[in-house]
Structure 1
Amino acid sequence: MATFLLLPVLVLLGRGLDTHVLETLRAPAVLAALRVSAVTTGTALTVTLLLGTPVAYLLARRRFPGRTLLDALLDLPMVLPPVVAGVALLLTFGRTGLLGRPLELAGIELAFTPAAVVLAQVFTSAPFYVRAAKAGFLAFDPDVEAAARVDGAGSWQTFRRVTLPLAFPFLLEGAVLAWARSLGEFGATLLFAGSLQGETRTVPLAIYNAMESALAPALILSAIMVVLAFGVLLTLRLIAGRRP
């Protein structure tokens, strides 16, 4: 099993990280794909952190009708095939979709734009962060927060000085997972955002496109993705090792 899992990865690294790596990385198409992925995944992660953290805290600390159902529904994008996620986004935000006409009247066009890439990445990656963040908020006794309030701390002070530091390893782990999922997103992005060079063509889409013409960029970009994936896994192991 170990040989089966590792051999293709090693072969890919051997073929991809050859002497022409720097030359290929300077190619406009490769640089454009790396730039699009860096910008969109960074934006998607920011949106996920800002909107996902309150949702995770709400699910961890509050009891309300429908909480269990909401919790399950928020995990749904993790198990949906990426192509299905792309179809759902297109039917909702596309020009002829549910919200397409109101958005068009407001002068907003989402489908087949960089914003569509970000939406696809948030849709498929945010549940990973919310799940990890919720575990972080559940990992310590709420009485710690209550004690801070008794000592005179306000709600925001308690959250910033007590809750966030205690949950931080989980939040960091969730952020890394969400970013990695965004970086590898393919199906939903292809259907909802297309593959326009310099606009919506991320690294996975560039690999798919290069496989039909020039193999070298596809191999090098694939090797880069392997290195990044290993870096993500190593980071998660280090975080888990430091977790109390």
Structure 2
Amino acid sequence: MTPPPDAALPDAVLFDMDGTLFDSEKLWDVGLDELAHHLGGELSPAARTTMIGAPLAMSMEILHADLGRPDLDVATSGAWLEDYMRTLFTTSLVWRAGAQEVLKAVRAAGIPAALVTATRRNLVEVALDTLGRENFDAVVCGDEVTHSKPHPEPYLRAASLLGVNPEACVAIEDSVNGTASAEAAGCPVLVVPSEAPVPSGPRRVHRESLVGVGLPELAAVLTAVAS
């Protein structure tokens, strides 16, 4: 998709983290499987798919229901998982193909960027050692909003922190929950699915990969949504 020569660039680019910038949903697979075993059960593929892009508390509720143990404490399970994931985030984060190049292009052009993630701040701080704190003008984490994804609040907050109109931004997402959050906030969304398909929608442009995505392709998302 190529925009016309005079196509406007986005006022900001809002990046999801897990599954979008990092191929980290596979790390969450490991952590969630280990937690399920720790709790004496096994996580089903259907329940795992539902968790993609969801906040921690929601994921723990899904896990407990899947194990037939709704009596378990969400906070206790969440703390166990975060402790396990901290090591994986320190040693095993891998950029998703093309993601680092997109981020570099956005920063080189002076376009404001935000990280908008359902992951909680303590793990995001670990991830920022790899992402580069200097690459983001704002960071919105799952435990810093009243309503996390799929609610629009995270993307609305990111746009507000950057002082831009969400409709003039491009959000980059990989999941159903994250895409719904960005779309509900009014953002055009570049959808690059990772672990599960994401349905089409009026404010969504789909690509199989971020490889080859640069400023013209980001401008094309705005053009496609506006047309």
TM-score above 0.5, yes or no: no
Q: Which has the higher helix share?
A: 1
Tell which structure's C-alpha radius of gyration is larger. Answer: 1
Provide TM-score, normalisation by structure 1: 0.27
